[in-house]
Homo-oligomer: A and B are copies of this chain.
């Protein structure tokens, strides 16, 4: 079947303020970010005929946004029940809806009061004990950070990855956030600060963990043909995948990965899907100028860098410690500060940062001549990623 390469482009970007207390409803956040994305494209609500979003029951539906914006007609929409497995895959599915002719111009948004509303980091999500949780919850294994701690520990044991190497991710993100007025955390952070920060779930320290954030962001996409006539440099979707290995079922309710049947915790499904992702885009990892990788915890982008092929398996720790992910390194990563320092908008803010960089509109944090970006949502036994180009 047809590939989607270069058929759809991002033409509008919209953010709200990111904060620890928005003071407004999720609905307001969603509307503000969507309105900003439409304005940014130089279009009006009358041009929008599709809306897509993802959430875990903590946000508003496309219908609410269509009503709030006053759209004359919504021709296609989807509300994907997903965590960060929706971070890039919602965009991907929406792009296919444009290709299939279901809609011409689609808003994709993620809105959440992640700090003052429903918080994702605690044990509250594990109420369902009918599945594999029955083997975890009674033993106190109830939160997402605990699951990730096991991944980090496995990677440390198998490859010698160190806490300082994980700290290098946090420090790099903070350096980038200092250049980003949108970032919630902008005070300087040293590797010593990281090493001295309190242990949250061994081996994850405070600064290995991302924030909880109130905010929203949205992108507007349309066909490549139409994108050429709009205000900004179009950012084209080259390829994308939203994959999972077969043991990826049930842990933490319904959507998150079934970690404990995953054969090898130190590997992600990104490794399996990378050949298709890069192959369909017609590029190799060497061609990627900027990477915005899902960094709910510092170990995550380390494993992703390996599994997407930017370094050898097991060398992700050394790669980040070498400075390769810094602004002047081989592969500038999380140039906005990531979830760790810009804010936790469930990974969708990574899509907007990639588009900003590819437009050449990232201001003080602009990476020179950025032409191709990889954006990854959550990668574990499930994974999702897209490749974008200017």
The residue from B68, B74, B250 contacting A243, defined by CB atoms under 8 A apart: B74
The residue from B4, B77, B104, B382 contacting A100, defined by CB atoms under 8 A apart: B4
Inter-chain contact A99/B102, CB cutoff 8 Å: no
Kindly state the separation between the CA atoms of A168 and B228 in the bound complex, as whole angstroms.
Answer: 54
Kindly state the separation between the CA atoms of A55 and B79 in the bound complex, as whole angstroms.
Answer: 11
Closest chain-B Cβ to A349's Cβ sits at a distance in Å of 21
Kindly state the separation between the CA atoms of A78 and B94 in the bound complex, as whole angstroms.
Answer: 11
Closest chain-B Cβ to A104's Cβ sits at a distance in Å of 7
Encode A89-125 as 1/0 by CB contact (under 8 A) with B.
1001101111111101000000000000000000000
Inter-chain contact B101/A246, CB cutoff 8 Å: no
Inter-chain contact B248/A66, CB cutoff 8 Å: yes
Inter-chain contact B102/A96, CB cutoff 8 Å: yes
Write out the residue numbers on chain B whose beta carbons fall within 8 Å of the beta carbon of A258.
Answer: 63, 67
Cβ of A75 within 8 Å of any chain B Cβ, yes or no, is yes
Cβ of A33 within 8 Å of any chain B Cβ, yes or no, is no
Inter-chain contact A79/B77, CB cutoff 8 Å: no
Encode A54-97 as 1/0 by CB contact (under 8 A) with B.
01010011111011111111111111111000000100110111
Encode A245-274 as 1/0 by CB contact (under 8 A) with B.
111111000110110010000000000110
Inter-chain contact A1/B66, CB cutoff 8 Å: no
Write out the residue numbers on chain B whose beta carbons fall within 8 Å of the beta carbon of A71.
Answer: 246
Residues in chain A within 8 A of chain B (CB atoms): 1-4, 7, 25, 55, 57, 60-64, 66-82, 89, 92-93, 95-102, 104, 130-131, 223, 240-250, 254-255, 257-258, 261, 272-273, 276, 280, 382
Instruction: Offer 26 A-B interface pairs, CB within 8 angstroms, sorted by A.
Output: A4-B102, A61-B249, A61-B254, A63-B248, A63-B257, A67-B248, A67-B261, A68-B249, A69-B246, A75-B241, A75-B242, A75-B273, A75-B276, A76-B89, A76-B93, A77-B244, A78-B80, A78-B89, A79-B82, A93-B97, A93-B102, A95-B100, A96-B99, A99-B99, A102-B241, A102-B242
